[in-house]
Chain A
Amino acid sequence: MKAVCWYGIHDVRTENVPDPIMVSPRDMILRVTSSSVCGSDLHLYDGMVVTMREGDIIGHEFMGEVVEVGKEVHKVKPGDRVIVPSLVACGHCTFCAEGNTSWCDNSNPNAWVLEKMYGQSPAGFFGYSHGFGGYAGCFAEYMRVPQADVGAFKAPAGYTDEQLLFASDAAPTGYQAAEYANIRPGQTVAVWGCGAVGLFAMKSAWLLGAGRVIAIDRVPARLRMAREQCGAEVLNFEQVDVVEALIEMTGGRGPDACIEAVGMEADQGGLEGAYDRVKQTLRLETDRPYALREAIRACRKGGTVVVMGVYAGFVDKFPIGAIFNKGLTIRAGQQHGHHYIPQLLRYVEEGRLDMTFPITHRFSLDEAQTAFELSRKREDDLVRAVFFH
């Protein structure tokens, strides 16, 4: 079958590889019908994630049609159209039982690697490096999905792939961000990053009662989408001092909740930017945390900072003094897709959530290199690229 394999920095290739096989009675084989290039894939593409191997099939946001199930799979059958979260969960450990599936104890075959790094390992992820399990990803015609009874969610009838695809990753991530933000009615929520994750965080903030949403980015097409599709007031971080502007916009207090949806490759000019780039290149710091530093400085006293952008290792100049002296709450983490997908699909069916709008570009798997280059450069007004398989 055809699949997109990672070979190194800015090197992904569409190749012919063997078809997936089932190895457990809890597995299913899925014919992937659509998938999307997430901001997390760009971290892989830029070589920011260690433990990748040449030839790894990448991709983790997807949906498709079930073609084969093992004998322990009871909830889905061949022919079903399903959405699958970007991670694998066992459904039975204490974390899965409470809905925190990205903390699953039992789904990362290489848990020992991340235990060495983080103390404990999160769940295994599709197409996201061997430290996170090494599971083959979704930029392929077919894929193996372990623990299918836990991970497959039936697609509601009458909706296209485009209307449902982001329920796999970007939408639950944004929704979780807003939920973690602990929004009380009328409060102000600021969101750094107007990629799909940030945009869904904005939509979700409204659903959860925000009174005001402010979006921060520098790409005009994305700021326009935040304003027009997500009802946000927008700030271009290249044109204003973001922290000053936010404090002024909120009567001198700062936003009640600050959501960081940018991650470890944040952009920043000037001296601070050069400083972190040098450190990151020398691996003295693995992540560039500009947006995170700003979110912490801007946030009101006693407010909540939610880190939804991906971080991998260590950052420098982390403003712990601001966190401490303002009594901030920090919440972070990978998305617990299994927990949020049913709720998000209900919102879609009730007509309260449109998940289609971030899609700006459509590609075939053969055009993967182009899709990745455009996504990385954020050119041609691209917000999200989708593969139709």
Chain B
Amino acid sequence: MRDDAQTDTNLGQTERLFSLVGGGLVLLAALRRPSISTLPVALGGGYLLYRGLARQDPVYEALNIRRNDDGGKLLVRRSATINRPRAEVYAFWRNFENLPGFMEHLQSVTVAAEDDRRSHWVTRAPLGQTVEWDAELVEEQAGELLAWRSLPGADVENEGRVEFRDALDGSGTIVDVTLEYRPPLGAPSVVVARLFGEQPWQQVRDDLRRFKQIMEAGEVPTIFAQTSGRLQEVANERARLRGE
């Protein structure tokens, strides 16, 4: 697939240097004092180190995210296998009002009463702001395909597409999700990335994991508000759970 690693790196020289040095330091610092807060850092450090050494970012690579391409459009593709019949998985997604239940950045989706192909989407943005748009279903093949697109006038132009197919070994339904965001003309891609999480590819993976958990297990597993020796934390979380 790749014949010339020299010209085919998707990381710039500075970014690569930062990855190498930063990755090594972060990894060492994190491993020195193991705790919950350092593990993700340690893993991230290892990843940065790898990325520096490998001269290209495997995540960007796999997801076809190219920076500085195409006016900063952001394209994320993710896949998951759900151990439920295809019709059921499709039906759950087809009701867009279900999406905020597993897509973290979505605050709400309201399907128009008069036309179930039209919907209004509200997402959470930094500093308590929201970003909104109207969307319409542009393709619908029962049990197989859903595609939607924001209508003109959206804060952030975007579209999404989900394909549903049976896993060949009978282990359920494979969903292939593609999301694409185009920031307002001239806005750097970083702005979009901020909106949809620092790591959109990680966020979509987490969203799909929650989708799978709801479809299969009936709930998203949580330890929120559980007990521990961290009394203040327990009290705070329980207050939030009660809606205080």
Question: Measuring CB to CB, which residues of chain A are less than 8 angstroms from any residue of chain B?
Answer: 1, 3, 5, 7, 13, 15, 17-21, 23-24, 26, 47, 49-57, 72, 88, 90-94, 97, 105-109, 111-113, 115-117, 124, 129-131, 133-136, 140, 144, 146-147, 283
Contact = CB atoms under 8 A, between A and B. Distances in A.
Contact of A134 (B34, B171, B223): B223
B172 interface: yes
B43 interface: yes
Given A136-B227, A144-B226, A53 B218 contact: no
A109 B225 CA distance: 13
B222 interface: yes
B228 A135 contact: no
B83 A17 contact: no
B16 to A, nearest CB: 21
B214 to A, nearest CB: 9
B202 interface: yes
Contact of A116 (B37, B47, B234): B47
Contact of A136 (B205, B219, B223, B241): B223
Of A51, A88, A109, A147, which is in contact with the most chain B CB atoms at under 10 Å from its CB? Answer: A51
Contacts of A92: 83, 216-218
Contacts of A283: 31
Q: Of A23, A56, A129, A146, which is in contact with the most chain B CB atoms at under 10 Å from its CB?
A: A23
Given A23-B222, A24-B219, A113 B43 contact: yes
30 contacts: A3-B229, A5-B228, A17-B228, A18-B227, A20-B226, A21-B225, A23-B222, A23-B224, A26-B219, A52-B34, A54-B35, A54-B229, A57-B228, A88-B221, A90-B217, A90-B221, A92-B83, A92-B217, A93-B83, A93-B212, A97-B83, A106-B217, A106-B221, A112-B209, A130-B39, A134-B36, A135-B226, A136-B226, A144-B226, A283-B31
A146 B221 contact: yes
Given A53-B37, A106-B221, 7 more contacts: A3-B227, A5-B229, A23-B226, A53-B228, A53-B230, A54-B229, A107-B221
Interface string B203-244: 001100100110011111111111111110111001001000
Contacts of B44: 116
A112 B205 contact: yes
B40 interface: yes
A50 B217 contact: no
B228 A23 contact: no
Contacts, number: 136
Interface of B: 31, 34-40, 42-44, 47, 81, 83, 171-172, 202, 205-206, 209, 212-213, 216-231, 233-235, 238, 241
B58 to A, nearest CB: 12
Given A106-B221, A133-B221, A146-B221, A111 B209 contact: yes
B228 A147 contact: no
Contacts of B31: 50, 283
Contacts of B216: 90, 92-93, 105-106
Contacts of A147: 217
A115 B39 CA distance: 12
Contacts of B235: 18
Contacts of B238: 18, 21
Contacts of B34: 47, 49-52
A105 B212 contact: yes
